[in-house]
């Protein structure tokens, strides 16, 4: 019975879960319209082509078989492995981590390759819940300029907090808690 429940849990964790709230769906529609615009100069056009930015993630995450999707997946795999290895090294050294996941095997890239994608979607859900206009401010500057890495840090810190209320000194700049 225990094996069956473990198998079912692993099976559930292996499927992507990007179910979105109506508020996030609305924001994604707005962002898609912003990303579809052509900007003649400036950071927005550069951010649309930068694999490390949220704009690139949102534009290409649902594509199949494109070079942009391959580039994004490769970047996410590298980022995932880097975070996983760093957290495990910190734990071996008894160093404090910036989030408190009791079982780091949940984030093992080989077992759960879509873990970071779930963290990103959950962080975006939390953002529209706590700060509905956060990514809309300054003509959507945050939606273009924020890095995927920052979204993941915020997601891990809020999904696996070390404190009931995250102290101001540990909160990431630009994010609401």
Q: In whole angstroms, what is the distance from residue 87 CA to residue 21 CA? A: 30
Q: How confident is the model at residue 104 (pLDDT cuts 50, 70, 90)?
A: confident
Q: Which of 8-12, 50-54, 70-74, 149-153 has the lowest mean pLDDT?
A: 8-12
DSSP state of 62: T
The alpha carbon torsion through 56, 22, 65, 116 (nearest 10 deg) reads 60
Which pLDDT score, from 0 to 100, does residue 17 have?
44
Determine the average pLDDT of the residues in 117-141: 93
Q: How confident is the model at residue 149 (pLDDT cuts 50, 70, 90)?
A: very high
Q: In whole angstroms, what is the distance from residue 158 CA to residue 127 CA? A: 10
Q: In whole angstroms, what is the distance from residue 6 CA to residue 153 CA? A: 28
Which pLDDT score, from 0 to 100, does residue 43 have?
65
Closest CA to 143 of 44, 2, 20, 8: 44
Q: What is the mean pLDDT of the chain?
A: 86
Which pLDDT score, from 0 to 100, does residue 11 have?
37
- Does residue 77 carry a pLDDT above 80? yes
Contact status, residue 63 vs residue 55, Cβ threshold 8 Å: no
Closest CA to 120 of 169, 87, 85, 159: 159
Q: In whole angstroms, what is the distance from residue 74 CA to residue 177 CA? A: 30
Chain segment 5-59, per-residue pLDDT in tens: 443 344 343 334 455 899 999 999 999 898 888 765 566 788 889 999 999 999 9
Domains of the chain, by residue range, sit at: 19-170
- Does residue 134 carry a pLDDT above 60? yes
Which range scores top for mean pLDDT: 24-33, 39-48, 82-91, 147-156?
Answer: 147-156
Q: Which of 29-43, 94-108, 126-140 has the lowest mean pLDDT?
A: 29-43
Encode 50-70: b = buried (16+ Cβ within 10 Å), e = exposed. beebbbbbbbbbeeeeeeeee
Closest CA to 78 of 149, 156, 26: 149
Q: In whole angstroms, what is the distance from residue 97 CA to residue 162 CA? A: 9
Contacts of 78 (CB under 8 A, 6+ apart): none
Determine the average pLDDT of the residues in 145-169: 93
Which pLDDT score, from 0 to 100, does residue 160 have?
94
Q: Tell me if residue 147 falls in helix, strand or coil.
A: strand
The token pair that represents 148 in the structure block: 């995927």
What is the reported pTM?
Answer: 0.82
């Amino acid at each position: 019975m225990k094996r069956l429940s473990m198998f079912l849990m692993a099976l559930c964790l292996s499927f992507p879960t990007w179910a979105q709230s109506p508020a996030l769906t609305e924001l994604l529609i707005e962002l898609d319209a912003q990303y579809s615009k052509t900007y003649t100069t400036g950071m927005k056009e550069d951010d649309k082509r930068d694999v490390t930015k949220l704009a690139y993630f949102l534009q290409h995450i649902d594509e199949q078989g494109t070079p942009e999707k391959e580039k994004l997946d490769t970047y996410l795999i590298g980022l995932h492995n880097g975070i996983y290895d760093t957290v495990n090294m910190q734990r071996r050294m008894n160093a404090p981590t910036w989030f408190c996941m009791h079982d780091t095997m949940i984030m093992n890239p080989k077992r759960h390759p879509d873990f970071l994608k779930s963290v990103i979607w959950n962080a975006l859900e939390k953002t529209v819940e706590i700060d509905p206009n956060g990514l809309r401010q300054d003509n959507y500057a945050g939606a273009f300029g924020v890095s995927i890495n920052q979204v993941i840090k915020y997601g891990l810190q809020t999904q696996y907090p070390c404190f009931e209320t995250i102290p101001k000194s540990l909160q990431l700049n630009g994010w609401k808690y």
